[in-house]
């Protein structure tokens, strides 16, 4: 009887040790799986992609007109009056289609992008306004913009002028108004919420066309590089929150930068929650 009890106790002791060891192994395996899952989640960051934007109304017959010479001369710097005429296009209206819901959209509607020397644009919702222009020789580009800031791209939707301002203005830019020229438009400023999911990339090209075997735009978004061979708007997806760097270059068929004061531009935008 004593032997039987002693044998039973030993058997129970071995089972207890085995159960504890198995339980510990299971716990360690679960912990290991959790660590592996956490590591996988940290590594799997969204990839930055660039896609053509489709679905915008074409406005093929829209026109922006400025009744002035190709070279505007002003003897004195300061506020200048600009009075545009808009044809077949309604400033202040919301652009129709799906894209106002996808992209950062102006509640004030369609407008004019006014760009001096390829600096960030100012948006104007009326055809007449005043702008401060300093002494010097300046490059002016103005074009029609949809409410979500996509430019209207046709030969009549843009105005290009040379501004000569002051008594003896210096042409520091060495402007050649007939040379191939890249004008930056979007992205611009800050984006938040849903507006960070799809960000418009848009620009204007002057005196050139883009093609697979000709001039192109090279875009570098953070550390990701893209080649754009067609003058159409694009959407950037997969951008991280925080500061995002955008670089655009107008390059030739061999990938060489085309000379010009505006053909390489760097901008920074910010994405917030």
Range of the domain at 145: 50-272
The model's pTM is 0.83
pLDDT for 24: 55
What are the DSSP calls for the chain, one per residue? -HHHHHHHHHHHHHHHHHHHHHHHHHHHHHHHHHHHHHHHHHH-PPPPEEEE-------TT-EEEE-S-SEEEESS-EEEEEEEEEES--TTPPPPSSHHHHS---TT-SEEEEEETTPPPEEESSSEEEEEE-SEEEEEEEEEE-TTSPBP-STTSEEEEEEEESSS---TT---TTS-EEEEEES-SEEEGGGGTEEEEEEEEES----TTS-EEEEEETTEEEEE-S---EEEESPPSEEEEEEEEEE-TTSPBPPSTTSEEEEEEEEE-
Report residue 95's pLDDT band, with 50, 70 and 90 as the boundaries.
very high
Residue 19 within a domain: no
pLDDT value at residue 46: 85
Task: Let me know if residue 250 belongs to a domain.
Answer: yes
Distance CA 130, CA 63 (A): 20
Name the percent of the chain lying above pLDDT 90: 83
User: pLDDT tens for residues 171-217?
Assistant: 999 999 999 999 999 999 999 999 999 999 999 999 999 999 999 99
The rounded mean pLDDT for the chain is 89
Residue 100 in contact with residue 147, Cβ under 8 Å?
yes
Distance from C-alpha of 142 to C-alpha of 241, rounded to nearest angstrom: 31
Within 8 A by CB and 6+ apart from 28, the residues are: none
Does residue 41 sit within a domain? no
- Does 43 fall in a domain? no
pLDDT, tens only, 132-148: 999 999 999 999 999 99
Six token digits for residue 41: 């989640």
Q: Is residue 171 part of a domain?
A: yes
CATH for 69: 2.60.40.10
pLDDT digits (tens, 9 = 90+) for 22-76: 445 545 545 445 544 454 455 567 899 999 999 999 999 999 999 999 999 999 9
Number of domains in the chain: 1
Q: What's the confidence (pLDDT) of residue 39?
A: 46
Q: Would you say residue 237 lies in a domain?
A: yes
pLDDT of residue 25: 52
Whether 246 has a pLDDT exceeding 90, the answer reads: yes
Is 223 part of any domain? yes
Phi, psi values for residue 125, rounded to 5°:
-100, 0
Whether 17 is in a domain gets the answer no
């Amino acid at each position: 009887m004593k032997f039987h009890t002693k044998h039973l106790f030993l058997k129970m002791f071995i089972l207890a040790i085995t159960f504890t060891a198995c339980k510990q192994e299971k716990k360690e395996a679960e912990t290991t799986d959790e660590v592996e899952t956490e590591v996988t989640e940290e590594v799997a960051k969204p990839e930055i992609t660039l896609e053509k934007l489709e679905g915008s109304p074409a406005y093929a017959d829209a026109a922006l007109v400025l009744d002035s010479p190709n070279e505007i001369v002003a003897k004195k710097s300061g506020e200048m009056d600009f009075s545009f005429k808009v044809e077949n296009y309604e400033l202040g209206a919301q652009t129709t289609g799906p894209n106002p819901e996808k992209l950062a959209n102006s509640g004030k509607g369609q407008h004019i992008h006014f760009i001096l020397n390829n600096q960030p644009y100012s948006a104007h919702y009326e055809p007449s306004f005043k702008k401060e222009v300093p002494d010097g020789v300046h490059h002016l580009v103005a074009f029609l913009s949809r409410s979500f800031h996509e430019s209207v791209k046709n030969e009549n939707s843009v105005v290009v002028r040379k501004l000569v301002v002051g008594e003896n203005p210096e042409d520091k830019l060495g402007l050649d108004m007939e040379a191939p020229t890249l004008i930056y438009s979007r992205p611009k400023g800050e984006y938040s919420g849903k507006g960070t999911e799809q960000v418009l990339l848009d620009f204007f090209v002057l005196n050139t066309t883009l093609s697979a075997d000709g001039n192109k735009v090279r875009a570098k978004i953070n550390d990701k590089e893209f080649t754009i061979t067609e003058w159409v708007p694009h959407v950037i997806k997969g951008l991280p929150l925080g500061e995002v760097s955008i670089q655009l270059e107008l390059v030739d068929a061999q990938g060489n930068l085309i000379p010009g004061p505006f053909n390489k531009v760097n901008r920074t935008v910010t994405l917030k929650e």
